[in-house]
Structure 1
């Protein structure tokens, strides 16, 4: 009875504290009744999730002592022993949780030594103690709360912000004792914008045009000009191809070619046409189910059919049919909702409030597809049922965004719904032939209720549920992905995990403000991108002081412009665009540029259409990186070394590494060497001094003027190489003998070869392939 009174008193105290507090969910400790208020979401839940939820979380199969610490009802209830409470609000010493995490007795302490989770730090214990003292108040997980726009925060320097983004960023800087950098130079900004908005190095003409502009609106005009280019759609599409796991082969052992590339053409078209994101999502999830669906809407559903497909004889078709829909479920949840739902395939999620039943209710939306585990007909088809056939006259008159001069019919794999409802069962331990309880399709209840009066229990209903303005995740997740693509790091660092184990947002109020603003302005993607790059936050110099490195080593609080290596495909694009080799054709079938000999042959099953690598010729050698043919069992090696996605699953964040292999590729890749050779041969025909040639080349490639010292060093290198080449008869011919692009006539080969070496050196500068 006495403990019950304490318990009620604790709850009352918690309610009083909640009412009088000035606490705000901004990820920081604020004053509360003379003490620092501790947030469950931002301070306590990360500790419990890391150290406790494995044994005391949502997964009923792994719960110890019947205790859940992820919700208040269980945490406040009397333990099974009947003698204690895990959390006694207001009284840490009477709380079993606090007593166990502070104990040194290995038979009593938590986490247990056998769990290998490690003991809590003094700081974590202190936070837990203060939280319990303040009432142990639980909060719903931040990502499952509908975002709301808060008022712009007050800042000490009203002159710095250019738009709303800057108020939130500057307020956080001031809180952390940081100050913003000065604005980057015009040369830095033109390169930064060109790479972010088009993925290409800015032409010399564009650089000079922006530098000479004196109009106050010059920067905004440049942004509009770049967003208006067709290359914008290509750059934006690159990230979506990772999410949609686009590739040119089926995967698995046979790994034959398939024709999903018209979907890539559509994605580029969609970004250039600025199709609103809600419609962009609906078409890809359920375009085939829209009333009087057009071929374009059906084509968009190839998004769900880009998964690997097993063509091998003797497979169990039902096993792979289930596997394909598991892949769809993961792609949907990770790419669109930012949740690790696949963790619940075999058991209740250990950290997020998603049960195995919730998982298979979501899976049920995709389980009614006409798609089979394997085609009944034998052969190496370029698409698998359901198939969309696109005729030549439709490409000419209707689907004009598809780049195909071939008059034959194009076939690609798309979605199609069964006429009758297929039963969906919870699969015991996730095994295809171990059905359990029968379930019906439903959205994730932890995210948002699935109102069947508004949403039918099919993919179209799921699509509409996903882009509802009441869905707390969809807008947040996409805004965060766009932010990541521009700043290199999302506001939520764990871009694919907004759940309990994910990172907390660095600027939660900013993320919510942008998400609501995005939805309120018609899910306008181009407007969102422009909004970000127009900010003072984006325009800062990337210079980092020692103090800033110490206070914020990852530049999470954006007190400086970002600096990071561009994606693998963009490295290729920089080389091709700066050298003048780039063929700017939009869309079309994938191409096979230079690749080391024998790689496919050494790893193939020695059968099928892709058993040998047949390199393309002519213009096909100089297409953008996103058009490079991707064989799932062996993706393009140069790109993989630079951390490109392997495309065998949905990927929302690419890793960033720095290895010696990357340097070796830049020094020896035929495309880089050919670009250096072609640029050198073209410059040889110009009536300029060598110093002026080097200065201009530097501008073309690095996108800034070289210093006197840089010109001097490169001149010294040029002279030393020219001397070697002049002495070694025939050496220049060997140096220039790279690539298939035609050689001009009448050049001085020794000078061209020496200049080629200089250009290759410039391409190998870190700054060339770095956005800063």
Structure 2
């Protein structure tokens, strides 16, 4: 009876799926035309991963019938059960057990089984599998492990739309799906978007007026060039790399004392502003200390790998933490530069990617020969840097490392990389445990990615840098291009930015990704050129308007049919407030600062020892520095920035989460920095000989970066008048409203007018549009 019910249920479900499929439009998941070549990577593997790999995949503990459908040799081999049957008979689906099972209505034969609750394949998926087997059932090397080749620029129908090659790839995909791109965004929205993307700051009122008045054909390109030339460009571009490098101002763990890695942050900003080619940018950070006649700048760059957490607890086992630090370096290299989850192979062979535990420890070996130790003895006095250390004198900062912004003349100390004179043996660690050494291995790159030719490159970090930046390495350029794309569009062409492996997302535009990667390498790994190509494309310049049709056909904008719209990163939220109010301290680089913060946070989460036992807030101009310079204590990250999804920096992070919570609204309403900015701008505007409408209009344009509509001005003016009237009825209310922040007050201001304006301006800061890129 039970079998009969399963049988009937299977028939009913198949009928329902068939009916639904009839109404599905022919999109990316639709039926393939008879002459279209079916790709294992892009058409078949996603189906098998979703429906089959749970029982017939790489996990040996869950594998059924000894069958692996992720490997050709297993899929083509005779099955253990069944007289000569094979899962896949190339060219003959009717003789392929896989096809028989996915089309069967018998619960005893059906795959996936009803008990698995994975659901049956739909009509489109079954047709795709059938065509693939008919075409030979060919398996392919994972797409990300094959070196990118410059693809042909696709043909498009709307030939007047593309501005550069990026647009041909984006438009080709849209046209294949019957989607039309949006019109270009208006000048005010476009300027705000590109200014925030390139500098992290809103466009000044002067730049807004200048761009609005420029009707030349290359007006936008001139603005892009101007923004790229500003030093604020380096600050904005560095922000993502600080997340990758897990930069922080304290050590983490127990006492979580202060450290001085900020000169490395100054170097990163300088490197982006100087447009250091990406291959050199990586080489210096991986092995700058090992370059012939290495300069102090090249050695400083290696601080990238020394930004991880350090323990200062007495009684620790030095070797345990030395291993832990190198594990962190290996993970950062794997995720941040190669876009792979190599850390999964620390304790056992990777379950999904072709990375064995031996491969992992051969990669680990590159970092295992440094002079770094796990414990430095007496920790009664924390040191601002851990050995090996690079010392920077005042004279060196003035003459050699001129990009370092020194606040005083004391000698700086930075943790950098340094290589031992003798080779330390690297063991495979059983179960990844520091005191369970196994087989000895030598340093090598990941063989599944690219061969590491020891006859041409040395087995040290310099060799690793050469292997990483080789044009034949299939990952390095793709991963970086994808990270940069994510910075401008909110999501990468590969959504799983840190995982280009088997379990990562497939690229939405694989040809575009490959074209950009190859073009990037062919033009000298030029980062500014890459950025300019993106922001001058028609794809980038589209309006962010979402129509009902677009919401239906492309709800997540994965096909790039409109401009990106999402909330700005935490640091930019702060920077918009400071910049538009005129409070921003525009100094580049230097030590981190401690702005306003709720009392008691640090004190409740520290041991009560050391320089950071109490939160000593900064004053004067230090209060108004950009968000990227806010002091990051690893055990207690800056609260307002964490609420806006900033990285807590305790590990490598290549993609920030995006949340929308009531706490974010509470920050914008109550944060002293926002209230002070509202007060400062209000007092400035109150001193101007303008009407209330004109003052509100200028404030609106400074903050929202466009001119307000008549309806908006009417509403805001009414609000101002109501507040002015209400405040005037209470003698001390204006003073109480304006009594916020440490910035000096304007002495000759009308307090009632300033207080009413402050309420209006604070409302503008709390508009969603203000902190949203659209």
TM-score (norm 1): 0.94
The aligned counterpart of 2:17 is none
Change over 3 Å in CA distance of 1:706–1:533 after alignment to 2: same
**Contact 1:27 1:39 (C-alpha < 8 Å) held by counterparts:** no
The aligned counterpart of 1:173 is 174
Indicate which of 430, 438, 441 corresponds to 1:439: 441
After TM superposition, list the pairs within 5 Å mapping 1:326-725 onto structure 2. 326-378=327-379, 379-725=381-727
Distance 2:313 2:450 in 1: 41
Give the secondary structure class of the aligned counterpart of 2:602. helix
**Contact 2:31 2:124 (C-alpha < 8 Å) held by counterparts:** no
**Contact 1:59 1:355 (C-alpha < 8 Å) held by counterparts:** no
**Contact 2:299 2:416 (C-alpha < 8 Å) held by counterparts:** yes
Change over 3 Å in CA distance of 1:240–1:712 after alignment to 2: same
Query: Are 1:765 and 2:767 matched, yes or no?
Result: yes
Change over 3 Å in CA distance of 1:608–1:81 after alignment to 2: farther
Query: Are 1:305 and 2:312 matched, yes or no?
Result: no
Give the secondary structure class of the aligned counterpart of 2:322. helix
The aligned counterpart of 1:18 is none
Query: Are 1:273 and 2:274 matched, yes or no?
Result: yes
The Cα shift of 1:130 comes to 3.2
Distance 1:116 1:459 in 2: 48
The aligned counterpart of 1:222 is 223
Distance 2:237 2:165 in 1: 24
**Contact 1:288 1:416 (C-alpha < 8 Å) held by counterparts:** yes
**Contact 1:335 1:650 (C-alpha < 8 Å) held by counterparts:** yes
Change over 3 Å in CA distance of 1:440–1:51 after alignment to 2: farther
Distance 1:479 1:745 in 2: 52
The aligned counterpart of 1:158 is 159
The Cα shift of 1:501 comes to 1.1
Q: Which runs of 5+ in 2 are unaligned?
A: 1-26
Query: Are 1:78 and 2:91 matched, yes or no?
Result: no
Distance 1:61 1:346 in 2: 16
The Cα shift of 1:396 comes to 0.8
Distance 2:420 2:654 in 1: 30
The Cα shift of 1:560 comes to 1.1
**Contact 1:29 1:38 (C-alpha < 8 Å) held by counterparts:** no
The Cα shift of 1:30 comes to 8.9
**Contact 1:46 1:501 (C-alpha < 8 Å) held by counterparts:** no
The Cα shift of 1:185 comes to 1.0
The aligned counterpart of 1:48 is 48
How many residues are treated as equivalent by the alignment?
746
Query: Deviation per CA, 1:506-564, whole angstroms, max 9, x where unpaired?
Result: 11111111111100100000000011111111111111111011000011111111111
**Contact 1:58 1:353 (C-alpha < 8 Å) held by counterparts:** no
The Cα shift of 1:121 comes to 4.8
The Cα shift of 1:53 comes to 3.8
**Contact 1:680 1:756 (C-alpha < 8 Å) held by counterparts:** yes
After TM superposition, list the pairs within 5 Å mapping 1:51-66 onto structure 2. 51-58=51-58, 63-66=63-66
The Cα shift of 1:711 comes to 0.5
Change over 3 Å in CA distance of 1:769–1:681 after alignment to 2: same
Change over 3 Å in CA distance of 1:107–1:487 after alignment to 2: same
The aligned counterpart of 2:97 is 96
Distance 2:55 2:408 in 1: 59
Distance 1:108 1:711 in 2: 70
Distance 2:376 2:48 in 1: 48
Distance 2:109 2:623 in 1: 66
Give the secondary structure class of the aligned counterpart of 1:599. coil
Distance 1:734 1:403 in 2: 38
The Cα shift of 1:29 comes to 7.7
The Cα shift of 1:393 comes to 0.7
The aligned counterpart of 2:8 is none
The aligned counterpart of 2:132 is 131
**Contact 2:631 2:638 (C-alpha < 8 Å) held by counterparts:** yes
The Cα shift of 1:97 comes to 3.3
The aligned counterpart of 1:6 is none
Distance 1:429 1:112 in 2: 34
Distance 1:39 1:45 in 2: 9
Change over 3 Å in CA distance of 1:227–1:129 after alignment to 2: same
Distance 2:219 2:713 in 1: 30
Change over 3 Å in CA distance of 1:95–1:606 after alignment to 2: farther
Give the secondary structure class of the aligned counterpart of 1:699. helix
Give the secondary structure class of the aligned counterpart of 2:414. strand
The Cα shift of 1:351 comes to 1.4
Distance 2:766 2:357 in 1: 50
Distance 1:111 1:371 in 2: 52
Change over 3 Å in CA distance of 1:105–1:640 after alignment to 2: farther
The Cα shift of 1:62 comes to 6.0
The aligned counterpart of 1:4 is none
The aligned counterpart of 1:39 is 39
The aligned counterpart of 1:23 is none
After TM superposition, list the pairs within 5 Å mapping 1:184-223 onto structure 2. 184-223=185-224
Change over 3 Å in CA distance of 1:734–1:662 after alignment to 2: same
The Cα shift of 1:200 comes to 0.4
The Cα shift of 1:164 comes to 0.9
Give the secondary structure class of the aligned counterpart of 1:471. coil
Change over 3 Å in CA distance of 1:295–1:30 after alignment to 2: farther
**Contact 2:31 2:127 (C-alpha < 8 Å) held by counterparts:** no
**Contact 2:32 2:128 (C-alpha < 8 Å) held by counterparts:** no
**Contact 2:149 2:514 (C-alpha < 8 Å) held by counterparts:** yes
After TM superposition, list the pairs within 5 Å mapping 1:241-320 onto structure 2. 241-320=242-321
The aligned counterpart of 1:145 is 146
Give the secondary structure class of the aligned counterpart of 2:458. coil
Identify the range of structure 1 (663-672 vs 419-428) with the bigger mean alpha-carbon deviation. Answer: 419-428
Distance 1:445 1:57 in 2: 21
**Contact 2:248 2:649 (C-alpha < 8 Å) held by counterparts:** yes
Change over 3 Å in CA distance of 1:288–1:737 after alignment to 2: same
Indicate which of 748, 754, 757 corresponds to 1:755: 757
Distance 1:348 1:67 in 2: 19
Distance 2:264 2:406 in 1: 13
Distance 2:286 2:117 in 1: 42
